[in-house]
Amino acid sequence: MKALVKKRPTNPPAWYVGLDYIDKPEPSVTPERPVKVQIISTGICGTDVGIYQGKDSLAQSMAKNKDEETILGHEFCGRISEIHDSAKTEVASLLLRKKLLNKKLADYVEGKTAKQLASGADFVEFLNKNFYVSAEMHFTCLECLQCRTGHQHVCKKTIGKGIHEDGAYTDFMVVPANRLVLFEVGEVPPEIISFMDAIGNGVHTCQSADLVGRTILITGAGLQGLMSCAIAKQLGAGKIFITDVIPDKASLDKLGIAKKIGADFTFNVGKPEGLAALRETIAKETDNTGVDIVFEMAGHYSAYNVIFDSVRMGGTILMLGLPAGKLELDFSNQVIFKGLTIKGIYGRRVFDTWDLMRYLLANGLTETILRSGVITHQLPLAEYDQGFQALINGQAIKVLLKPGI
């Protein structure tokens, strides 16, 4: 099978730019990775772009990988093609816990135990035909303090599938049964399932503060900023302000898309007049108080002066963007005397973020995403370079890659 890989850095942080499109053997199911998934579509994430560019922090992380090369990709939609005998009952239990919308599927499982379902000769075929699948791609130990207290997303032993071991930029991938998320065919479009991992970051951000009626500044109108805008509006946020740096010759109207999905005010802060308009508008709309909450999604330190100037005393800053390098900060005046709450957002809460995301998609978020135009490219896996370059050059928001085309 064809796969998109990055070679392990041998002298980090030195690393090469680009990826390699090569032949790899098809993986086999094992008791540790018992579910084999055929990949339909997979999304390019900002982390993948960082790996493509040879980012220092990711070079340091992937230098610890045991294999000389790793198949990238952690956002995906697929179908189950094989299950190791040791995990069939676990997958059947997962199916029984799901509220089935299709009566024929509900009739198939009604009255059966997990063992009875798992022992059926057509069980895997039933799943393959009737369900799409994705997975929580942060694999955790389930034993550390964080895992035991409901914080699996910050497990100290996390393995990032598609970063630390082979991921979804290929035809087939194997995953643990306890990370699967099932979707009936017709429940959520496969192109959206393909990047629910990323949508989940926005949901987790919105779960991290009381948004109802609150004013929110979102710095960065990339995918994470746009998704968090749509989610916050659906969850009852008040006025939303969103910023980005838009080049003069940009062909992609990110701020126009932001308006479509819920932003009340948008600003190109790459220009002095945009920065001035942001300050004036926030002052006017908040009675010179500042916004209640900031979502920092840009991952650039240039945005930090904006967020500390814009947030009110006693406000909250939620940080998902990953800036490079270091920043000098006046903690006394910018944080302590202002009484700010600052929280880092990493991954998704397992699995309550997925449950809320499924609910939001079923109640309007799917339509919001599809009509917004955030899925800008759908390409064969072999044309990956076009997709990565489009993202790097600001000509794309969400790029989907499709193996086997």
Which residues have a Cβ under 8 Å from the Cβ of 317 and sit 6 or more positions away? Answer: 293, 294, 296, 307, 311, 340, 341, 342, 343
pTM value? 0.93
Of 146, 92, 62, which Cα lies nearest the Cα of 347? 146
221 and 312, same domain (yes or no)? yes
CA atoms of 238 and 171, how far apart (whole Å) = 43
112 and 146, same domain (yes or no)? yes
283 and 185, same domain (yes or no)? no
Position 368 in a domain: no
CA atoms of 204 and 207, how far apart (whole Å) = 5
Structure tokens at 301: 């330190």
Model confidence at 100, in pLDDT bands (50, 70, 90)? very high
CA atoms of 164 and 173, how far apart (whole Å) = 14
> Bridge-partner residues for 321, per DSSP?
none
Which residues have a Cβ under 8 Å from the Cβ of 296 and sit 6 or more positions away? Answer: 219, 220, 303, 304, 307, 317, 318, 319, 320, 321
226 and 190, same domain (yes or no)? no
174 and 256, same domain (yes or no)? no
Number of domains in the chain: 2
Instruction: Supply the pLDDT for residue 111.
Output: 94
DSSP 192-207: HHTTHHHHHHHHHHHH
Q: Which structural domain, as residue segments, surrounds residue 124?
A: 2-194+373-402
34 and 83, same domain (yes or no)? yes
The residue type of 163 is I
Instruction: Supply the pLDDT for residue 84.
Output: 98
Instruction: Supply the pLDDT for residue 49.
Output: 94
**141-187 residue pLDDT tens:** 999 999 999 999 999 998 899 999 999 999 999 999 999 999 999 99
Instruction: Supply the pLDDT for residue 250.
Output: 65
CA atoms of 39 and 79, how far apart (whole Å) = 7
270 and 321, same domain (yes or no)? yes
* CATH number of the structural domain spanning residue 319: 3.40.50.720
Rounded mean pLDDT, 208-212: 96
Instruction: Supply the pLDDT for residue 401.
Output: 98
180 and 245, same domain (yes or no)? no
